[in-house]
Chains A and B, each alone.
Chain A
Amino acid sequence: MNSNNKFMLMISGLVTIVIFWIGWVSSNPKDEKAMATFISVEDLINDKINKRTKLGGLVKNGSILISKTNYLDCSFILQEGAVELNVKYDRTRPDLFKDGAEVIVTGLYLDGVFYADELQTKCASKYEGDLRDESSYNLTEIEI
């Protein structure tokens, strides 16, 4: 076998090992946060899935409750179509988290409550929204 063939053999061997390794890591990640399955709220409630999942939906109007003792503790109702789910979250909330916001939560479902450790808001699309007419301007008072 000449050196070139030896080279090719070694390289192919190494590449095969690495590809298998990547495949293996894809199905057995070390950290549970490495992957999350995106499912619908309805499936989560019906199948009582107890592994890490990602859900999308809207924050139900008026459902955001913030703890009086710890401002970071918050719960809200996530709506996806007609299905509703109680979500608890105790970290810094994104700037655009509010009633009616479109959110994606990641976490675990336990006894009817979804404990989220990630909360993302879909935001910037607002900037591609409708244009504004004159009534939106010339206001002097500040309402926050």
Chain B
Amino acid sequence: MTPIAGGVALNLAFGFSILTIIVLFLYTRYGDERLFLTGQRLALGVSFFVFLATFILSYQLLISNFDIDYVARYTSLETPFIYKISALWAGQSGSLLFWLFILSIYATITILQNQSKHHTLMPWVIICLAIIQLFFLVLTNFITNPFMPTEAEFIVTNGNGLNPLLQNVTMAIHPPTLYLGYVGFSVPFAFAISALINKDTSPLWIQSIRRWTLVAWLFLSSGIILGGWWAYQELGWGGYWAWDPVENASFMPWLTATAFLHSIIIQEKKDMLRIWNMVLIILTFTLCIFGTFLTRSGVMSSVHSFTASSLGPIFLVFVFLILIVSFSIMYINRNDLKSKKRMESFTSRESGFLFNNLVFVVMCFSVFWGTLFPVISEAVRGTKITVGPPFFNQINIPIGLILLALTGIGPLLAWRKTGKQSLIKNFTFPILSGLIGASFFIFIGLKGTVVISFSLCVFVLATISKEFARGILARTKKFNETIITAFYRMISKNRSRYGGYIVHVGIVFMFVGFTGHAFDKEKEFSLKVGETDHVAGYEFTLLKMSESERPNHYAWISDIRVTDNKGAFVTNLYPEKRVYFHKNPDVNRRQPHSELDIYSTLNQDIYSIFSAVDTENSIAFIKIMVNPLVRWVWIGGYILVIGTMIALWPRKD
């Protein structure tokens, strides 16, 4: 009975979304307030039924009702509680319902938050959100329904269980975080379209979506970082980013959204770049849907392709529809989008922002090109060419370094025009610091891109410290405050600016981590108990190998002692070789899995993988990687989150 209620809830949400669109459209024609009120309530109804459907599916997953196909495929009786919940977004239909669930949360907040605000914008905002909901309701109602009953000729007493790769806490939170980001851009997109239709593209709509955009950006950034963290902890290839199509799918909207976050500052302050901002938010939202398409369609072979499905064409049609409709509305209203103000100088903060924007978009284009190159080459030349990380690195390392440099240059430029005197005054300290850094890095034997990257990091940190020092000094002089009070008050008086700088510090730390990749070392070898091998100045001795049977897997655990080249003890590593579903008589259904062990310091990570075990001769096959500076990527990630939260935090007044 209950599963049927889930299906019915989805049906009702589908009907309500159509009604919402019709009623609110009529309101925009005839202006009857009762229609607006009805439309709002209908829209809340759509969200209510989506919530209901999601809760029903979650409950069925928790009670292991294997009469529902989805529950039987993604959970089993042995699946731990937390992964029964995360199974909600493990499979196709569930994850689409989850998309819809998050969109409905956002839609509800938007409607409730703006009940007495933005009276002209809101009808079209709700219509846009309802159309997006309708698209996902079509998918979950008619194409891939999560409440489909199990079709088997026997009674399913236990389900298939969740893929062991997904049984990791990070993996339980990475997809929802990413989704919160993806879906979050629906709201600024809806406001943008509504502003266009209402012919009101003044900076007003920008103000209403700044916080939404930051929230979505925060989730998208955290989702990407968590994904990298998960790959590093679970996948066992020692890296966190592989330029995989699905990773790229999340990176592309991040790039355009970051550009958008910067360029709306110019529209807010100078009322310039109206068209550009529209283009950016439309692109960002389209890329979010495109990202979902890449993940779900199976067009690209990828570590993420847990599904191969027929959803591709429908998503593609939706992507094209968004682009065609949005840009047509933009074209029709092009006269309202013309800004009255012009760029005055190359050495102005405006032009700094504009260059930063261009670099972001060019980077997005290069990632798009590389991701779709196999498809393009197959269509044009008939041969399928796959593109690997070296291609992306060759193009994106220089672009990334330019971006890093701009992060340092931008804050030093004044609005409108920077005079020669202030150019010299502002740049002397950061450039000198960068040059001193460069000399030091060359002195200790570093070369090429590594020196450029580290020196730019020093340059940007010098710029940001200078900005902080200047602000604090001004306050201590003017208000006679202590340095700590001045620091605290300066940030709380201008959260978006200083929060932004803190985000930049996070990005610099991440670049430090990325640069460390140039020094990675790895070695694969086999060890019997008592034997030793060497990698990058460390000795690895296999002390013992033990076995253990656990609730849903069987494990071999190796105990490796690590000492440095002077013989001093460093750590013990315990990588495991596991076999999931080891009791299954069908050998093909058992899944081997390597559980890593990582010894992490600020300086470097020692990363161990137990790749295989020879039980007859008691030999462990080990892969060791020594990855310098990786931890800085995660530290940078934390700082980025803190900075964004500061920028987001509401003011007291």
- Identify the A interface with B (CB < 8 A): 2-4, 7, 11, 14-15, 18-19, 21-22, 25-26, 29-31, 33-39, 54, 70-72, 91-93, 95-96, 100, 104, 106, 122-134, 136-137, 139-144
Contact = CB atoms under 8 A, between A and B. Distances in A.
Q: Enumerate the 5 nearest inter-chain pairs by beta-carbon distance, A residue then B residue, closest first.
A: A31-B390, A38-B384, A34-B390, A34-B391, A133-B154
Contact of A72 (B307, B390, B583, B621): B621
A124 B165 contact: yes
Given A34-B390, A38-B383, 16 more contacts: A18-B362, A22-B395, A25-B394, A26-B391, A38-B374, A38-B386, A71-B619, A95-B593, A96-B591, A126-B588, A127-B160, A127-B162, A127-B306, A134-B157, A143-B587, A144-B615
12 contacts: A11-B354, A14-B358, A34-B387, A92-B609, A95-B593, A124-B305, A125-B308, A132-B156, A132-B589, A134-B157, A143-B585, A144-B554
Interface in B319-351: 342-346, 351
A143 B585 CA distance: 8
A122 B303 CA distance: 9
Chain B interface main SS type: mixed
Nearest to B361: A15
B614 interface: yes
B166 to A, nearest CB: 9
Contacts of B366: 22
Given A126-B589, A127-B160, A35 B385 contact: yes
A126 B164 CA distance: 12
A21 B305 CA distance: 31
Given A3-B345, A95-B592, A128-B73, A31 B386 contact: no
B339 to A, nearest CB: 10
Interface in B114-162: 150, 152, 154-162
B592 A25 contact: no
Contacts of A95: 591-594
Nearest to B374: A38
Most B C-beta atoms less than 10 A away, residue of A7, A93, A106: A7
Given A34-B390, A131-B159, A137-B158, A142 B554 contact: yes
Nearest to A3: B343
Contacts of B216: none
Interface residues of B, number: 72
Contacts of B358: 11, 14-15
Contacts of A133: 152, 154-157
A114 to B, nearest CB: 16
B196 interface: no
Contacts of A11: 354, 358
A124 B163 contact: yes
Contacts of A22: 365-366, 369, 395
Given A71-B619, A136-B586, A92 B611 contact: yes
Contacts of B73: 127-128, 131
Given A15-B358, A131-B72, A144-B582, A137 B157 contact: yes
